């Protein structure tokens, strides 16, 4: 066998006589993206080495050398001086190879009682867990910005829409609080996913566990897990923790997209409901008058990438028999991309909401359009004249039709005009036809009355200030 035909792969070269084809190296290598797992890989390896020493499987001096060497590798990666090699396939072997260069034979003891299968399952799980913690912080910041807007504009009236048609008046603060609730549920979903995934797969080895007397509870505790995973096959074979996180991120990204869409609409000259400062908008290369809400538009688009990653990983996993298959190398790149894009969209939205300026006069003018107090009129007929609601609905519809034909608002009709439809109507009806009186009357729990909005905004800000989970 010549030097050219000998396998140079340090991981499995003893079984093979020839090196892999160049294209095989390219398709097999994951270092281009899984180097993002370096911090998690080093943390996991240090915990594993400490456990091996405690169990008497390796010497304490070797464990100390391994920890020292791993710290140096981590420093090199952080400084950007580490050389990554495609020939070593992945982040795990790149780190182990450099560790051997730094500390010699002791590095070879690190992989005792573990496999790359449980190693990558651990690293990936910790990476996703770290992302979930960052998401919770980001969502809390966004909720705080929304709640502060709600408190500041609790009495600013605006149109509430159904079918994007004026429906009933609400307040700007109430509208902001709707998203506080949505993002609160997103936080709950992420928190639930974190609780479920917080089990440590390290020690499952390739798929069957190990004959070495390891202490899996020790490594689980050292790495912040609640417990070790209970089945070695499941430990290395499943990625439902990533799927669940992507599913929750997709739902949350849809909420971000809906809020983004409203900002885009509200910033049009036709609406003019809000303003954004220069730092969240862009201009045009040809039209000097333009102020484009590009940050909101980009946030709106991110849900496509995130939902696509969820679907993509589902397709990777759906047909795999137990335990590990190389298909699962495709789990990380799309997940990394999706989680990074969700995080940047979350931060951008928190910044936009904090800097958003509502335009009260435009909001108020729109709130009174489209006969938005028609429901208040119908309710008055039921409450004052004791009419069945269906009859009140019919009578109100006739009065709206009359106002529409004349091109006036309901409050601009005369008492005599309304009495042509229902003779028992009195002057008292005009007390419910203004936008201000409409929103003020909606005092039911969860309603848009300014006093409700102020109370709920303060409650949310208090919870967020205390750092309590929105679950």
| Lowest mean per-residue pLDDT among 23-32, 358-367, 443-452 | 23-32
pLDDT at site 327: 87
Helix (H, G, I), strand (E, B) or coil at 387: coil
Pairing of the two strands 357-358 and 157-162: unpaired
Rounded CA-CA distance 307/45 in Å is 33
pLDDT at site 2: 38
Rounded CA-CA distance 276/263 in Å is 9
| Lowest mean per-residue pLDDT among 209-213, 219-223, 335-339, 370-374 | 370-374
Query: Looking at residues 424-440, what average pLDDT do you find?
Result: 89
Q: Which of 249, 239, 240, 242 is nearest to 304 (CA)?
A: 249
Rounded CA-CA distance 419/437 in Å is 22
pLDDT single digits (tens) 195-208:
999 999 999 999 99
Rounded CA-CA distance 236/119 in Å is 9
Query: Looking at residues 365-384, what average pLDDT do you find?
Result: 87
Residue 30: pLDDT band (50, 70, 90) is: confident
CA 172 to chain centre: 24
DSSP state of 169: E
Please identify every residue annotated as catalytic.
163, 284
Cα-Cα-Cα-Cα torsion 47, 110, 9, 22, nearest 10 degrees, comes to 10
Give the distance between the most distant pair of CA atoms in the chain: 108
Rounded CA-CA distance 123/33 in Å is 13
Residue 6: pLDDT band (50, 70, 90) is: very low
pLDDT at site 329: 86
Q: Is the per-residue pLDDT at 284 higher than 80?
A: no
Contacts of 132 (CB under 8 A, 6+ apart): 190, 191, 193, 194, 245
Query: Looking at residues 183-194, what average pLDDT do you find?
Result: 98
pLDDT single digits (tens) 83-92:
999 888 899 9
Q: What is the DSSP string of 38-70?
A: HHHHHHHHHHHHHHHHHTTSS-HHHHHHHHHHH
Structure-model confidence comparison of residues 31 and 140, the more confident one: 140
SS3 content of the chain, % helix, strand, coil (to 5): 65, 5, 30
Rounded CA-CA distance 146/176 in Å is 6
Q: Is the per-residue pLDDT at 353 higher than 80?
A: yes
Q: What is the DSSP string of 420-432?
A: TT-TT--GGGGGS
pLDDT at site 373: 84
pTM: 0.87
Q: Which of 94, 108, 323 is nearest to 201 (CA)?
A: 323
Q: How would you label 207-223 residue by residue, b for 16+ Cβ within 10 Å and e otherwise?
A: bebbeeebbbebbbbbb
| Lowest mean per-residue pLDDT among 139-143, 276-280, 282-286, 431-435 | 282-286
Q: DSSP alpha helices (H): ranges in 267-373?
A: 294-317, 332-355, 360-367
Q: Is the per-residue pLDDT at 141 higher than 50?
A: yes
Q: Is the per-residue pLDDT at 3 higher than 80?
A: no
Q: To 5 degrees, how large is the angle CA 305–CA 310–CA 314?
A: 140
pLDDT single digits (tens) 40-51:
999 999 999 999
DSSP state of 228: E
Q: DSSP alpha helices (H): ranges in 369-427?
A: 374-385, 389-406, 415-419
Rounded CA-CA distance 309/336 in Å is 9
pLDDT at site 22: 67
Rounded CA-CA distance 154/172 in Å is 7
pLDDT single digits (tens) 306-328:
999 999 999 999 999 998 898 88
DSSP state of 199: E
Q: Which of 142, 187, 193 is nearest to 470 (CA)?
A: 187
Residue 280: pLDDT band (50, 70, 90) is: confident
Please say whether the beta carbons of 374 and 396 come within 8 A: yes
Backbone φ, ψ for residue 136 (5° rounding) = -65, -40
Q: Is the per-residue pLDDT at 131 higher than 70?
A: yes
Residue 223 to residues 123, 127, 232, 302, 323, Cα–Cα distance (Å): 11, 12, 18, 32, 24
Q: Is the per-residue pLDDT at 7 higher than 80?
A: no
Residue 17: pLDDT band (50, 70, 90) is: low
Share of the chain above pLDDT 90, in %: 76
| Lowest mean per-residue pLDDT among 21-35, 178-192, 368-382, 448-462 | 21-35
pLDDT at site 411: 86
End-to-end CA distance of the chain: 64
| Helical pair 38-54 and 60-79, crossing angle rounded to 10 deg | 170
Rounded CA-CA distance 424/407 in Å is 24
Share of the chain above pLDDT 70, in %: 92
Average pLDDT over the chain reads 91
pLDDT single digits (tens) 79-125:
999 999 988 889 999 999 999 999 999 999 999 999 999 999 999 99
| Rg (alpha carbons) of the chain, rounded to whole number | 31
Q: Which of 452, 363, 354 is nearest to 148 (CA)?
A: 354
Q: Is the per-residue pLDDT at 454 higher than 50?
A: yes
Q: Which of 164, 188, 182, 168 is nearest to 268 (CA)?
A: 164
Query: Looking at residues 249-276, what average pLDDT do you find?
Result: 96
């Amino acid at each position: 066998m010549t030097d050219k035909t000998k396998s140079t792969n340090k991981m499995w070269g003893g079984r093979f006589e020839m090196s892999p084809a160049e294209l095989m190296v390219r398709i097999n290598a994951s270092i281009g993206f899984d180097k993002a797992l370096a911090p998690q890989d080093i943390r996991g390896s240090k915990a594993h080495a400490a456990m091996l020493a405690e169990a008497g499987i390796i010497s304490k001096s070797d464990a100390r050398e391994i920890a020292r060497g791993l710290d140096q590798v981590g420093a090199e990666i952080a400084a950007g001086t580490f050389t990554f090699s495609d020939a070593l396939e992945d982040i795990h072997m790149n780190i182990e190879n450099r560790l051997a260069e730094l500390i010699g034979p002791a590095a070879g003891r690190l992989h005792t009682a573990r496999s790359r299968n449980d190693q990558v399952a651990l690293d990936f799980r910790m990476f996703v867990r770290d992302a979930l913690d960052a998401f919770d912080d980001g969502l809390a910041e966004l909720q705080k910005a929304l709640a502060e807007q709600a408190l500041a504009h609790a009495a600013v009236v605006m149109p509430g829409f159904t079918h994007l048609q004026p429906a009933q008046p609400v307040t700007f603060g109430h509208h902001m609080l709707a998203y506080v609730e949505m993002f609160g549920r997103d936080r709950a979903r992420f928190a639930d996913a974190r609780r479920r995934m917080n089990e440590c797969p390290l020690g499952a080895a390739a798929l069957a566990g190990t004959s070495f007397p390891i202490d899996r509870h020790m490594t689980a505790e050292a790495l912040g897990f609640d417990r070790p995973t209970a089945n070695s096959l499941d430990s290395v074979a499943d990625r439902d923790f990533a799927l669940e996180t992507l599913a929750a991120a997709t739902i949350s990204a849809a909420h971000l997209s809906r809020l983004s869409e409203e900002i885009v609409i509200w910033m049009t000259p036709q609406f003019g409901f809000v303003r954004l400062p220069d730092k969240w908008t862009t201009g045009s290369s040809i039209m000097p008058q333009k102020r484009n809400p590009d940050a909101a538009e980009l946030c709106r688009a991110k849900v496509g990438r995130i939902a696509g990653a969820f679907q993509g990983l589902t397709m990777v996993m759906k047909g795999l028999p137990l335990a590990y298959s190389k298909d699962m190398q495709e789990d990380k790149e799309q997940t990394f991309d999706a989680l990074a894009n969700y995080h940047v969209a979350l931060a951008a939205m928190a910044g936009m909401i904090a800097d958003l300026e509502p335009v009260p006069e435009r909001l108020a003018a729109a709130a009174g359009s489209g006969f938005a107090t028609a429901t208040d009129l119908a309710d008055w007929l039921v409450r004052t004249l004791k009419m069945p609601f269906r009859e009140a609905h019919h009578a109100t519809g006739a009065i709206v039709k009359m106002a529409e034909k004349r091109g006036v608002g309901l409050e601009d009709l005369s008492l005599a005009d309304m009495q042509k439809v229902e003779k028992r109507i009195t002057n008292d009806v005009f007390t419910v036809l203004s936008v201000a009186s409409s929103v003020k009357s909606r005092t039911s729990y969860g309603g848009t009355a300014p006093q409700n909005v102020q109370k709920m905004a303060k409650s949310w800000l208090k919870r967020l200030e205390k750092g309590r989970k929105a679950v």
